[in-house]
Structure 1
Amino acid sequence: MFFNLGKKKLLWITIIAVLMAVLLPAFYIFYRWRRKLRESRFAERRKVEISQDILLLDTNMSIATRETGNSKESCLPFFSLASITAATDNFSGENKLGEGGFGPVYKGKLNNGEEVAVKRLSSQSGQGLEENLVRLFGCCIEHGEKILIYEYMPNKSLDCFLFDPTKTGLLGWEMRVRILEGVAQGLLYLHHYSRLRVIHRDLKASNILLDSNMNPKISDFGIARLFGGDELQSNTKRIVGTYGYMSPEYALRGLFSIKSDVFSFGVLVLETLSSKKNAHFYNTDSLTLLGHAWNLWNDGRAWELMDSILQNDASYPMLNRYINVALLCVQENAADRPTMLEVISMLTNENVILPSPLQPAFSHVRIAENSSLPANCEVEACTVNCLTLSAMDAR
């Protein structure tokens, strides 16, 4: 009898041990599964919440600021990659606005219906302001992506109007004057009123964006340089920019300053008045647009530079003033060029007596007989690698 009781006890112990060996791992697995399921659901909810951060962005607010002692410091908002992907419909090709040297730009839509421009920087890009400058709403640095969220400009860029025969007529004289004065004000802010002096280094018609009211905004600060304190000039061995807009001291020696932007502005003025590209303007004498404007100025026929579509619209005294100022801006020596503060004064104050300009830089461009541009080099985006192949007469 005691023997039977011992056998039964041993059997129950065995059964319990087996059940524990089976059930405990099962309970543990079930517990981990439930916990993982809860965490996954929470992550999904959090992902949805995060994906709304840019969609809920208030574009009426400038870059956020935070209090630091007695002063305010700019604080650039960071957005998740999920939110930007949602706003651009996963970077849909239908939302692609264009592509520059630093990467493609997409249109994104917020919940309130407002649109923003999303710049997806290329992996090689090193690109990191107030009125007349495109507003930067925020950025994203996630999973190897570098993305900037900008104010959206529905009318694209100035070059889309200036150099398109079907659209140039939409730019009347007064509108062109307003655009140029707006760009001048933007450069003045960068050069004199920004916390750090900013040299844009790539001012051109395609980097002047136009909002819904055709107000100009300077964009694309991909190769801009910041100057601190009393720093006025610097140099670089890596010359980047756009052929036709670069000052001679920068294109040939790598020196740049605020006067480099002034040179580019002078080129922009002549292009805006004539609806012709400096880099593509050649006649039988191999003149650039600068050289053509200079010859017309010396012959007293400056008005011939003007786009013929403006003949019944333009003010000839103001046209002469604008050409005079533009030629002052593109003089070969940087010291001879005015500052943007002086440029604005000369453009807007008819009582200011304008000095006579000297012959502009790059009046003639001669391509050396033993040189040729690389097949993959576009004139409008030509870097130092292309410039070194050309012999340019800066006369």
Structure 2
Amino acid sequence: MVKEILYQLAVPVFSELLKDENFEKQVLLRFEQKLNTVWEFSLNLEETLKKLVIFLKGIKEQNNLKALQEIISIHIQRNANIFIFLNELDLFSEAIIEFVFSNYSREKVNKILPAVFYLKRLIEELIYEPVEKEPREIINAELLTNSREVIQESLKEIYRWLEPQFVALVVPNSLGVFKVIAGVGEKIEEFARLSLRKTPYSFAGRLPIPTCYREEKIRILPFKDPGILGPFVEIWNKCGIESAVLYPVIFSSYKIGVLVITFPTSLKFPEDFYYRAAKFAENLAKKIIAAYKKNKETEFYCLLKSVQEKSHERYDGKGYPHGLKGEEIPFLARICSVADSLEAITSDRIYRKGRDFSFALEEIRRNSKTQFDPEVVAVLKSGVEKELAEIKEQTLKEIGAI
């Protein structure tokens, strides 16, 4: 009901205003000037303005609340970052208010001004309306092997503009262990030695970086807070970090990792900092996805695809598509078969929760010599047991530290 009332109060006023070409032109000009002030480096400025023109055209031409909701949904998908969209909405609202006060009579201002706030509130209501999340394609650390140069160059650009202590891209691998893929700045080598485990047994699962990744929300850490950082505060001490901003690196249907921006002093971050960092996170995601798609066509990915097709095959020869047996199956395919099964058993599905590694190991061991190569199973069992022992040891230390 609230949305319907806001719609009736705001949209007819704007539909009428947008018939005046001078209004749209002048407001867009003011909006561009504001973007240039807040956003000095002007990344994709032309694209932002183009998307806003489409948005305004949609408001002008729509004729019901559902149509407006679809317009906003499409606009959000194009932006792929609600934080950025809301910042742009604030700047756009300011541009309208300034133009209205400069060009219209007091009577018209009194009519238009409330409509500005009603439209802004309506858009926020529509943005935050609960919707079922589309599953994202996870681009894990292994898939970024051939994209590190692109990532490093993008991080250098962020470092140059924001002047932090260091910036890093942290991405989980296929086992859920967070790794620094690339980074620029002081102490980055020390930070790169980290492994932030994504595990329910460890305090690390509640640390800021995994939380930012899991919840896909910005984390602002203006000072070193042991209550939030827990045992991780020791890492901050070693790296000389006092404050940080973490951004989820996501775009459209892809989920990549976390952009970590750190500083050697406690900071009260200026408002435009978040806007800049959000834009950089989005831009970084776009470049990574473009490189990822390009790399999918390379010889390595073609080989991997071929191997995967020969894997989804069974060690005992009772598989498909060719009924290959034992060493007739390429070695890499035998490894992929075990790895795929481990991932499938431990990952959450719509119809069930993922099982723990102990259960997965037992299932794979039970099918050794039939579905899986026993040598590969033995190596996996040894490696995962060692990993679990390290996690257990680390957890006990963390419990003692809390």
Q: TM-score, normalization: structure 1?
A: 0.28
The structure with higher relative contact order (CA 8 Å, sep 6+) is 2
- Structure with the largest fraction of strand: 1
Larger Rg: 1
